Structure 1
Amino acid sequence: MRTGHDDSEREDAAPVDMLASLFEARGWPCEFVSDDEIQGEIQGSWANYQIRCVWRTEDHVLQILCLPDIRVAEDKKAAVYEVMALINEQVWIGHFDMWSNGSVLLYRHALMLGDDGLLSLGQAQAAIEAAVDECDRFYPAFQFILWGDKSPAEALASALVDAAGEA
């Protein structure tokens, strides 16, 4: 951690510092990429997810990216784009996307923070948990397309039935 402050005593902190405190408290590995970016790894239900958080000071926006380490082959892109559209209709916060460079699947969400640019522990926890939860919720749908050759509608229906059946 970069600061000598005890972050557990503060209610709000600079976004990247608060996220570092959260990751440290949860025992999740993380590292600072720069003063305005942190990356870490979280074990989800289906896979390890790389989390990248980028703070844009000028806009007071914290962007959270969750990458489930899924690369999409060229012949599967159309089906993955279709299932992403179906999934994004059901996601209330954030959305799934695919980077054109490398065809990497990701979940992306941004938080607009106030003029003070501070993030609370509750906000940090909720944002990271939402990213991981959404990746866990829809990971099977992408796998059904990539490995099971299901149609986008079948993949989503199967994934949601499987998720509903878990306790």
Structure 2
Amino acid sequence: MAEALKIDESWYHRVTPVKDRTSAGGVVVRLEREKIYVAVAQEVGGQWALPKGGVERGESLLQAAIREVGEETGLMEVVSLGKLGVKERYGLKKGIWITQHFFLFFTKQLTGTPTDPRHTQGVRWFELSQFPDLFWPEQTALVRESAQTIRERVKNHLSRR
């Protein structure tokens, strides 16, 4: 279903009363030859997206984001560089309204094995300056709109080491 679905503006304007869901995820970056690369995970259905998912009872947003990154990409060695943004939209079948909290993470890890069996592809890396269109347009927008912030936070993180 996900492969044939086209996400348009109707996913971003709440017009029907549906249940709310809070999710958290990450924009995970690494540095290679002076270039910043961003990790994406393969969603169920085969599309590429930022790793994210529902916040479980008792978890903070940051804890949920770290857990989801590990479950969907296998990247376990991440350092938080702070919150990056919040995006809202309907879920895949428009039966829920999702408020997504994204954090920026830095890693030196290149590969990982997802712990969620529904995510079999692990991680794929894209250069920040050439970040592609993802399945969910708001995720593409978040990364592109935050590119300068990402560069600055990575530079600050590396200068403190």
Q: How does the TM-score come out when normalised to structure 2?
A: 0.31
Q: Which has the higher contact order (CA 8 A, sep 6+)?
A: 2
More helix by share: 1
